[in-house]
C-alpha cells in the first residue's frame, strides 16, 4: 500500500482497526514502512513512512477459546 492507500484504509475504519486485518492489508503490503511502534498503555499503533506518521487505535480483540 502507498501512503494515500494507508490513509484511505484508516479513514474507512475511522482510525480504529482490527489488528489482524491491518497486519494483513497494511503492514504486510507496504514496503515503505520504516517503523511500527505499539503503545501498550494506550492501545495505539504508530506507523512511520519516509513521508508520514500514522497513529491509530490498534484493536487486538478477545483471544479465542480453544
Q: Which domain holds residue 18?
A: 3-59
| In-domain check, residue 30 | yes
| In-domain check, residue 17 | yes
What pLDDT, on the 0 to 100 scale, is given for residue 61? Answer: 76
Host H or E run for residue 8: helix 3-12
Host H or E run for residue 20: helix 19-22
Domain count for the chain: 1
Express each pLDDT in 5-41 by its tens digit: 999 999 999 999 999 999 999 999 999 999 999 999 9
* SS3 call for 39: strand
Task: Give 65's DSSP letter.
Answer: P
Express each pLDDT in 50-66 by its tens digit: 999 999 999 987 655 55
Host H or E run for residue 54: strand 53-59
| In-domain check, residue 53 | yes
What pLDDT, on the 0 to 100 scale, is given for residue 33? Answer: 97
Name the burial class of residue 15, with classes exposed (0-12), middle (13-18) and buried (19+) by CB atoms within 10 angstroms of its CB.
middle
Amino acid at each position: 500500500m502507498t501512503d494515500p492507500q494507508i490513509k484511505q484504509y484508516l479513514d474507512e475504519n475511522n482510525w480504529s482497526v482490527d489488528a489482524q486485518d491491518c497486519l494483513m492489508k497494511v503492514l504486510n503490503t507496504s514496503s515503505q514502512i520504516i517503523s511500527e511502534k505499539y503503545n501498550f498503555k494506550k492501545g495505539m499503533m504508530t506507523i512511520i513512512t519516509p513521508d508520514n506518521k500514522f497513529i491509530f487505535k490498534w484493536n487486538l480483540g478477545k483471544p479465542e477459546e480453544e
